Amino acid sequence: MLKTRQLVVAGLLAALTIVLGISGLGLIPVPTAAGRATIMHVPVIIAGVLEGPLVGGMVGFIFGFYSFSTAAVPFLLDPVIAILPRVLVGILSHYVYKTTRSSSAAAVAGTLTNTGGVLGLAVLRGYLPLEAALGVAVTHGLPEIVVAVVLVALVTRSLKGYYTRR
């Protein structure tokens, strides 16, 4: 059973994920096989770090379902590719944070899970050749990691201070 705070945080971060998608602020068009780089995984990482694997997984599911329902490329119409890695982003981010106590490490792990999971499954399921996936991983993954580390560190540091004062 979720605590009230967990439910509220899950709702807020899920809403932020959808707003990032609808507004276009979370999806940056790039001329690669994937079509868009994303920062929509950042609220998922924050959810995992702040509220645990269940909340991280829930927000990840919302991100994945949004990606599936608004797919701009054929491989995101596959629910396994669109949803599963995004759920795992929130779960893995929590456990990396719990182990390292570093939100930056959680951001790197979450971003790698998102990019590597989606592209890896797209290759395994025959949607992308390995060379294209590796090209996308480099061109999208590195900038996504940098942005995620900065945003996750800022947000979690601010909110962790609030959490400890209560």
- Per-residue pLDDT tens digits for 49-92: 999 999 999 999 999 999 999 998 899 999 999 999 999 999 99
Q: What pLDDT, on the 0 to 100 scale, is given for residue 37?
A: 74
**3-state class of 29 per DSSP?**
strand
Domain contains 155:
yes
166 pLDDT more than 70: no
Do 53 and 88 touch, CB atoms closer than 8 A? no
Distance CA 115, CA 117 (A): 6
CA nearest to 58, candidates 47, 73, 49, 74: 47
For position 111, which CATH number holds?
A: 1.10.1760.20
Specify the pLDDT at position 34: 63
Position with higher pLDDT, 146 vs 108: 108
- Percentage of the chain beyond pLDDT 70 is 96
Residue 150: inside a domain: yes
* pTM score: 0.93
CB count in 10 Å sphere of residue 127: 19
Decide if 134 is inside a domain.
Answer: yes
Answer with the residue of higher pLDDT: 32 or 157: 157
Q: Is residue 116 part of a domain?
A: yes
Across the chain, how many H-helices and E-strands are there?
6, 2
- Whether the CB-CB separation of 20 and 45 falls below 8 Å is answered with no
Structure tokens at 7: 């439910």
Decide if 166 is inside a domain: no
Write down the pLDDT at residue 27.
79
How far is the C-alpha of 10 from the C-alpha of 120, rounded, in Å?
A: 27
The domain tally of the chain equals 1
Q: Residue 9: inside a domain, yes or no?
A: yes
Q: Does pLDDT of 30 surpass 80?
A: no
Domain span including residue 79: 4-161
Element holding 27 (H helix, E strand): strand 27-29
- Nearest-5° angle of CA 61, CA 12, CA 99? 65
Note whether residue 30 is domain-resident: yes
CA distance 108 to 58: 20
